Chains A and B, each alone.
Chain A
């Protein structure tokens, strides 16, 4: 019995300690961002590895998600004779939910895990300590550029995902199933609102980019510096990011679109 309480106390305390460490880490990172702006080259390298290398997976997934939405939407909507609203369905579901969420999940898997593994290995091979020995702040030099790159790349990737998805729905709906092209676009434009739909979708993706970068970098920075520790940290990044994205998505949707 005593053991149980001891274990419970230990878990509580260590999770609070981790929360504290991660908040402190975030504050340090945010205050170091200004030093990145003086050295855009660091940011450029990270935008390449986080953004450009995720480009292909995001666009291809976006295309197929849009095509599937077009296909499924068409079969259901044609039962009601409402194929003309296919554009609305595809665009609304992509811009509001699927674009930010699916691209964030892909981003966490593609870029977040890579960030954790990279930072974790730097720690395991004592590169971070080496930098500190040379009076170079690893937060400024290593962490902050990656954080900023994730924050910038995520909204761009989500926008690409949604746009390509809408085009994918167009290919299937208009090109293959014969929905009227004018109706596809005009119904979409008359239903979707710039502020309510597009801006809220972009805000979502910025929030997701922030959270993924934070989780990925902190897990790497906080990893136990062994090969097993790094592998666990990488797993935790993907799992925790996925949970956080989906949970936050519900909260953000409720705040933005719902009357809860």
Chain B
């Protein structure tokens, strides 16, 4: 049997290592550190086609992530896709003529919403709606247009 003190120290070290590993997983491996301030406000935008956008897809402003998509559903009247976004409350100075576009990160990457601020003096508030939107680019449509254009010229 080992000395009690040595054993205590080893157990203490083991527990400390384990907790350090849990912290490492939380802070370094997952996104916990990126979202320390969790207060958000919700805005929404209608898109003709929201493409491969998913709940939790990033919302960026000038390339910096400012929030996430929180909900996607169909507007029963207009048959458009309504995308709700949770924006971190520290970015509460978005002009109300901000436009939203759906882009793809890289050729095959995930889709995200990019916000482009306008020039208005009024700011977007909770539950307000973005009017200027640009739908996701569907690759097949673009290729189709390209092909038909070629065919029309001939």
Interface residue ranges, A against B (CB under 8 Å): 44-45, 47-48, 51-52, 55, 91, 95, 153, 155-157, 159-160, 162-164, 166, 185, 188-190, 192-194, 197-198, 201-202
Contact = CB atoms under 8 A, between A and B. Distances in A.
Interface string B103-118: 0000000000000000
B56 to A, nearest CB: 7
21 contacts: A44-B8, A45-B7, A47-B11, A47-B14, A47-B15, A48-B11, A51-B14, A51-B15, A95-B30, A156-B15, A157-B18, A159-B21, A160-B17, A160-B21, A163-B21, A164-B21, A185-B28, A189-B34, A190-B34, A198-B25, A198-B29
B100 to A, nearest CB: 20
Contacts of B25: 95, 159, 162-163, 198, 201
A159 B22 contact: yes
Contact of A156 (B22, B24, B58): B22
B31 interface: yes
Interface string B37-79: 0000000000000000000101000000100000000000000
Interface of B: 2, 7-8, 10-11, 13-15, 17-19, 21-22, 24-26, 28-34, 56, 58, 65
B67 to A, nearest CB: 13
Contacts of A157: 18
Closest 9 CB pairs of A and B: A156-B18, A159-B21, A163-B21, A194-B32, A194-B30, A160-B21, A159-B22, A192-B30, A163-B24
A71 B94 CA distance: 45
B107 to A, nearest CB: 9
Given A52-B10, A52-B13, A153-B14, 20 more contacts: A44-B7, A47-B11, A51-B11, A51-B14, A55-B17, A156-B22, A159-B21, A160-B21, A162-B29, A163-B29, A192-B29, A192-B30, A192-B31, A193-B30, A193-B31, A194-B30, A194-B32, A198-B25, A198-B30, A201-B25
A188 B31 CA distance: 8
- Interface SS, B side: helix
B37 to A, nearest CB: 14
A157 B25 CA distance: 13
Given A156-B15, A189-B31, A198-B29, A48 B10 contact: yes
Most-contacted residue by chain B among A51, A159, A192, A197 (CB, 10 A): A159
A159 B18 CA distance: 6
Contacts of A194: 26, 30-32
A190 B7 contact: no
Nearest to A190: B31
Contacts of A95: 25, 29-30
Given A159-B21, A193-B56, A202-B22, A52 B14 contact: yes
